Chain A
Amino acid sequence: MNAVTSPLAPGASRIEGTPMVEMRDICISFGGIRAVDDVSVDLYPGEVVGLLGHNGAGKSTLIKILAGAYKPDAGEIRIKGEKADIANPRDAKRYGIETIYQTLALADNVDAAANLFLGRELMTAWGTLDDVAMEAATREVMGRLNPNFRKFKEPVRGLSGGQRQSVAIARAIHFNAKILIMDEPTAALGPQETAQVAELIKQLKAEGIAIFLISHDIHDVFDLADRVSVMKNGKLVGTARTSDVTKDEVLGMIILGKSPPGALAGPGAAAD
């Protein structure tokens, strides 16, 4: 099960091997505003990287580029060292990139199974939707994530926040994700459900899945992440291993844009 060993095993001084994802010098503008300005981040197998920053710092835009929702104006994405051409969400999924969006991105008027398989429906031999097979798969994966879930026939609009969240998570992990992007995954959850999501992240990480964890709240991320990359005003302030910096230092990165000595400063770091 744990065939993939984390390159960030405790005590490892340096990251080794090829990164699962490299985003290099990514730029994107919307109507003259540089939402993401020359940002480079990377992510290794079995690693959790927290992407931090204020609301509007450009985190969600950056990961939407990786997820194929936006096309960058400049920069390149490498998956396992090879240049990846991600023009749309389907391409991203082909590279094993799955995304849990902040908005969850669920179609409220159809049921859990339809959402889970949206865009990759199971079909019968006659080319029709195999709803029973999809429901069976949904029951299986939901049984693992949220054993009390029973509303398989109901449109997801009738589900609670936590249930909707588990549908969105189920969709991301059901298709053998290698790279998981979680945009504020606990924003809509209560304390108990938040703890469950944290456990799930640890578990997926142990299986060698590389995870980008996006949050504006450092407390959500600091204990789970191996490294944090901080963005401010569309620029990268810096990247640091969580073992090398304190929470206060990371907070300084987020608020002041100041890169501490333990971090690798990015182009967005404030000059002293």
Chain B
Amino acid sequence: MTDTTTTSTPIPAAPPPGSPAAKPGSRPGSAPAAAPTSFIGALEIDVRFLGMLGALAVIWVVFDILAGGTFLTARNLWNLSVQSSSIAVMSTGMVLVIVMRHIDLSVGSILGVTGMIMAVFQVSTLMPTFGFNHPAVIILTLAAGISAGAAIGALHGFVIAYLGVPAFIVTLGGLLVWRGAAWAVAEGKTIPLVDDNFKLLGGGANGSVGEMWSWVIAVIACLAIAAAAVQARRQRQRFHFPQKPVWAEFVIVIAGCLAVIAATLVVNAYTLPPVLARRYAEAAGLTVPPEGIAISFGFAIPVLVALAVGIVMTFVTNRTRFGRYVFAIGGNPEAADLAGINTRRVTLAVFALMGALAAIGAAISTARLNSATNAQGTLDELYVIAAAVIGGTSLAGGSGTIAGAMLGALVMQSLQSGMVLMRVDTPYQNIVVGIVLVFAVWIDTVYRKRIK
């Protein structure tokens, strides 16, 4: 750990004029920063993210009123979380693509073709080889789909980075090519999934972890939030940097834990219908009391997959070289080049990652429908881009967050789900979503201008 600082030995020995002879051992730059001026400033939270949470809250409350109290129910919120997962997974990759000043129009088609590949591979090869519900089936299905997605993405990335064709064109071509390929894989047939383990990725009563495991996950999440705060503090202590006030740390950790607990309460409040619960309990060998039994859904597996992807992608963007380079290239491609970064390789890797994430999205959405169709994922590219952009990713490149994009996916899905509950016809839903997208980006533009 400590040896990481040895490369930073000073070079120019004498201080330049104007700097009153810095005493050896003194840390000229590390004088305590000015006290934070505001409550939000002390908390060091992203104001834009806070604004999005506020917007989401407004959307939820308004829909709940308009839809006669059907929106803010445990059942609807649980469904909302499952419906958002696939787009949320893909939006994390789209953030990196857009940060690098590119675009990927092909994700919906990659989802279609990889979903098809997974279903066909599972039904025609893996099942006959390993047998019904063998654990190898889900593993190899996912491995095949994700590799295929990554390979398709890498191919796009290669043409973009090394042959110099604009990403818009390459992925527009990809949109057509892979949609056609999805049809070609099974000549347009719909392929029903056979592996029960794989179907768990789609959610549903079986594809949820239940009440007890939901609480286990909640406790782990709360501990992780607290541990992260302590770790960050220790790191800053190591170099005697100015620290956040202790109360601010507590506010953040407590708010985070409350959010986790609230989410857990909601998903646990969604219970199986009484008849199904009784059947399920009897199958599990439980004695059912005469007043009936409440069996909670708990967190759905696709939601947990999406959250795991979000955590991994946040780690990749913030804590790895690769993530740093993606942002540096997005900020100033020439500077990144001059700093010795292999910008082409990073571009290729970002598109490969996008392809792999589209395959994970495909696993979730095919499992949810219990089958793969060649139309699956149609228009998803637009929802994914919209989620990233609503989530604060700048199309000019260089800025965006994973958490924001995932929240953006939730906002998009909330709009659609709310309008379904209000019985708005699909064409009108599209009109509203389109308007909201433009409006959200306009608000963001105004915000960016103001902070400049």
Contacts and interface: CB of A to CB of B under 8 A. Distances in A.
Interface of A: 1, 67-69, 88-90, 93, 99, 101, 103-110, 114-115, 118-125, 127-130, 132-133, 135-145, 147, 149-150, 152, 155, 173-177, 195-196, 199-200, 203-204, 207
Interface stretch (B205-213, B276-284, B335-343): B335-343
B16 A203 contact: yes
B156 to A, nearest CB: 24
| Chain A CB within 10 A, most for which of B4, B29, B328 | B29
Contacts of A108: 331-332, 398
A144 B4 contact: no
Contacts of A173: 11-12
Contact of B16 (A68, A144, A150, A207): A144
B19 interface: yes
B317 to A, nearest CB: 11
Contact of B13 (A195, A196, A207): A207
Given A105-B332, A173-B12, A110 B327 contact: yes
Nearest to B328: A107
Contact of A203 (B7, B12, B28): B12
Given A122-B7, A150-B33, A200 B337 contact: no
A88 B340 contact: yes
B30 interface: yes
Given A90-B340, A107-B332, A175-B11, 8 more contacts: A68-B340, A114-B328, A122-B8, A125-B4, A132-B239, A136-B8, A143-B19, A176-B11
Interface of B: 1, 4-5, 7-8, 10-20, 22, 27-30, 33-34, 235-236, 238-239, 241, 318-321, 324, 327-332, 334-341, 398-399
A244 to B, nearest CB: 30
A94 to B, nearest CB: 9
| Chain B CB within 10 A, most for which of A118, A142, A177 | A118
| Chain A CB within 10 A, most for which of B5, B10, B20, B332 | B332
B334 A139 contact: no
Contact of A110 (B16, B28, B331): B331
A37 B257 CA distance: 67
B29 A139 contact: yes
A176 B7 CA distance: 10
A199 B16 contact: yes
A89 B340 contact: yes
Contacts of B14: 203
A127 B321 CA distance: 9
A130 B20 CA distance: 30
16 contacts: A69-B338, A90-B340, A104-B335, A108-B332, A109-B327, A119-B341, A128-B320, A136-B241, A139-B27, A139-B28, A142-B29, A173-B11, A177-B11, A196-B17, A199-B16, A207-B13
B334 A119 contact: no
A8 to B, nearest CB: 20
Nearest to B336: A107
Contacts of B13: 1, 207
B324 A121 contact: yes
Contacts of B398: 107-109
Contact of B4 (A103, A105, A133, A176): A133
Given A130-B4, A140-B27, A105 B15 contact: no
B319 A129 contact: yes
B38 to A, nearest CB: 15
A114 B4 contact: no
Contacts of B1: 124-125
Nearest to A125: B1
A88 B338 CA distance: 8
B10 A141 contact: yes
B127 to A, nearest CB: 39
Nearest to B323: A129
Contact of B339 (A109, A119, A138): A119
Given A140-B8, A152-B29, A69 B337 contact: yes
Given A106-B335, A118-B328, A122-B5, A139 B236 contact: no
Contact of A103 (B7, B318, B334): B334
A115 B238 CA distance: 22
Contacts of A130: 4
B324 A110 contact: yes
Given A105-B334, A106-B332, A176-B11, A147 B339 contact: no
Contacts of A127: 320
Contacts of B16: 144-145, 196, 199-200, 203
Nearest to A118: B339
Contact of B335 (A118, A150, A152): A118
- 5 tightest CB-CB pairs across the interface, nearest first? A143-B28, A139-B29, A137-B8, A109-B331, A143-B29
A134 B15 CA distance: 20
Contacts of A122: 4-5, 7-8
A174 B29 CA distance: 15
Contacts of A119: 336, 339-341
Given A105-B335, A124-B4, A145-B16, A129 B29 contact: no
A132 B241 contact: yes
A129 B321 contact: yes
B336 to A, nearest CB: 6
Contacts of B18: 147, 196
A105 B339 contact: yes
A1 B29 CA distance: 24
